[in-house]
Amino acid sequence: MSSARASARLWQALACVAAAAWLFPYAWMVATSFKTLPEILADPTALRPRALDLGAYREAMSAMPVGRYMAITAVMAAAIAVAQIALALPAGYALAKVRFVGRRFAFGVVLACLLVPAQATFVPVFLFFAKVHMVSTMTALVLPFAASALGTLLIRQALMSVPDEIIEAARIDGASELTLVYRVLAPMLKPTLVSLLLVSFVFHYNDYFWPLVMTTDDTVRTLPLGVALLREQGTGMRWHIVMAGNVILSIPVLALFAVAQKHLMRAIRG
């Protein structure tokens, strides 16, 4: 009895140590963002700021237009997430529930695109957008991701388990194919769609690579790029300013994670 309790204590202690390895860096990040420059110079490792000094946040916000970058990032990520679902629903439906010549071929094309990450396409895609003078536009950020091979395949898979009778019944009721896809089938896939939407939004909100290679100026600069630039600009010790930027960048996704943990984790488990 007591040995069982002792081992339970041991597991709890070990779990706390493990959590500390992840929580300590965050704690340091938040603490540093509330420090002043003399404080950092005196002891950069201290976990408790002397007072909640907002100077680093003021400096970060004067060094970059946080509101504008945040809005651009949110619009871009939301546009991609919504477009992916809107396009994947009819495509997934056609692949799952309609019999036609060339279906295997279409399925193969979508499957093949799973193998090609943006890191293998950015050189030619950049050359293309440069040719049509569309580098540093919202289009260059959104359009290449408006269709998602993974999203299409996941929706197809989810639709395979929807009984054909439901589709037949909707048709007898006179539903058009679009009504059928968006009004009848989409609500049935709600958990899948919510997970897809969240994962896609978070991924593109966080993304550094694509906005970096597709923009050459400030017109559609996203927040991750702006925060990364905080470190590259200026001289001297700026860790408190960079950490303030880090906090601003991370809080929306962490809040989203706290609210929608179940959906995100389910999407990861597949």
Site for other proteins in 174-203 (CB under 8 A): 176-178, 181, 202
Chain centroid to Cα 167, Å, comes to 33
Select the span of 55-63, 64-72, 182-190, 221-229 touching other proteins (CB under 8 A): 221-229
Is residue 23 near other proteins by the rule CB under 8 A?
yes
In sequence order, which residues have a C-beta less than 8 Å from that of residue 90 and are 6 or more positions away?
177, 178, 181
In the complex, minimum distance from the CB of residue 190 to other proteins, in angstroms, rounded to a whole number: 20
Nearer to other proteins, 121 or 219 (CB): 121
Q: Of 267, 256, 93, give the one whose Cα is nearest residue 164.
A: 93
In the complex, minimum distance from the CB of residue 216 to other proteins, in angstroms, rounded to a whole number: 9
Is residue 160 near other proteins by the rule CB under 8 A?
no
- Torsion sign over Cα 94, 97, 101, 106: positive
Residue from 191, 208, 233, 234 touching other proteins (CB under 8 A): that is: 208
CA distance 244 to 238: 10
| Residue 229 host element (H or E) | helix 223-232
Q: Which of residues 62-101 bind other proteins (CB under 8 A)?
A: 87-88, 90-91, 93-95, 97-100
In the complex, minimum distance from the CB of residue 11 to other proteins, in angstroms, rounded to a whole number: 6
Nearer to other proteins, 67 or 117 (CB): 117
Contact 60, 234 (CB under 8 A): no
Select the span of 50-58, 62-70, 185-193, 220-228 touching other proteins (CB under 8 A): 220-228
Q: Which of residues 37-66 bind other proteins (CB under 8 A)?
A: 40, 44-45
Q: Residue 35 has which token pair?
A: 């420090």
Q: Which of residues 243-262 bind other proteins (CB under 8 A)?
A: 243, 245-246, 249-250, 253-254, 257, 261
CA distance 215 to 208: 11
Select the span of 12-20, 48-56, 58-66, 186-194 touching other proteins (CB under 8 A): 12-20
Place of tokens 């896809």: 181
Helix axes 190-206 and 239-259, enclosed angle (nearest 10): 180
Is residue 239 near other proteins by the rule CB under 8 A?
yes
